Structure 1
Amino acid sequence: MTDTTRGVLFPERLPRLTRLAPPPAAAELTAWFWIPQWDLPEGMESRQQVLSYPAANLVIEPDGVTLWGATTRATERVLRGSGWAVGALLRPAALARLSSAPSDLVDRFIALDEQSLLAAVSDAMPDGAAAAAVVARWLVDRVGPVTSEGRLANTMADVLMGVPAPTSPAILRLDDAAEHLRVSVRTLQRLAHRTVGLSPAAMIRRRRLQEAAQRVREDTDASLADIAAELGYADQAHLANDFRTVLGLSASEYRSRS
């Protein structure tokens, strides 16, 4: 399973976070479940900054059920008091059945009128595994059988995010991704638009920035120039620009704060 801190900009600030693999029946619908739980002293707050995966999330919290589209920027949530959430990182095959226009959800969310799901998850908490099982069953029932296009979209997302073989050289060009999937570049672009809402290039950029943030944070002996070269950036300035545009700070500033 992917590193549980990938995309989390400041892991030391995390509340208790459980990440669970889906059961086999839901494996084509969700990559994993993420379940934060927190109980902070009065007057204390925890700021959670996340560079999310280029994917949608189904989120159940005590006050409702929401469907969040893919994001193009880093997000922040301030936690206070006590609470919980049960989230499912959706695979494209699921999102395409839950939303008729994934591109309209980019950087947005919609509330879902799913009171029975909310009640069942609330009853299961604080047992995260039981709550995730409830959401998995709901997804299987709601989405139904996965189509051939849904499976192709899942494979596309895996290829663009480096999931199948993380130790192999990452695919950094659309031509290479299209060749790997045995489709045209135009078909790849249309598939991503219909099932994720982002372009394939945007998905590759997000994965690369996630990897860069993790390397900058953890591999303090590596120079920023070396990290930029290893991850396919044109140069260190390109890496710096990506950090400033999406995260609002330079790579060196991020390293000093981590």
Structure 2
Amino acid sequence: MLFINTRPQDRAENLSHALRMAQIDVLDLPLLQLLPRPWSADLSELYRQLPAAQVIVVVSPTAVQIGMDYLKQSCITLDQLQHVQWIAVGDRTAQALAQYGISAEVPKVETSEGMLQLPVLQTLNSGQCLAFWRGEGGRLFMMDQLKQQGMRILNFILYERRCPVFTQCKLANILSLLEKQAQYAMVVSSEASWLNWIQLMQDQKQLIAKGHYLVLGERLYQVVSNYKKNQATCFNITRLPDLKTDSILQKLVVVQGNT
């Protein structure tokens, strides 16, 4: 079975290598490209307020890189943030923060829902300040939930998320390849990735139906399930607890065994 690895190019290599070592045919097809937002007056004002935050939520290694670059540009030091509790969406983000000497809390499930279950967020009082280092369109659910609890949110949009031009240019070859497949499997790590996939395949519902989608977390599972229901199409969906290579391999073995 063909496996489509949709992770951003800089995060896909380890998974693709492990799958190929397991004799699984892999197509590297990133559905998200992360492009830094330029420094602006809005970002400058947000960084000025950052020392007032009790918690900083960092959603990706890219957010770490850009966030730290702009922290330096803002002339704020990590010493001024020693009181802050850092939260990383997953292990790779935590590792990126660790390179700056920062220890971060990591949820068991790498989703907004998983992060909301962390004890540090359960014990916050109304009116306390949280900062989000994120990309355009990401983590809106989590921020909305915290706003409803009376938290003050500093919303750092550090990068934009787009469907890579490279992927769009390969569309004809992708369609030709999928037409030859009885079934394929695909990892879907975010709603933005899923929406980009649907946009690419907008006239190819028969090819969408060939997919077995490995999706991260319950909320994304519901997003993909709702598409399946609303479009009256039929395909298989499997929930992933995280994006670790072993977790994906284990699920994929089950998928292959059912085909």
Q: TM-score, normalised by structure 1?
A: 0.27
Q: TM-score, normalised by structure 2?
A: 0.27
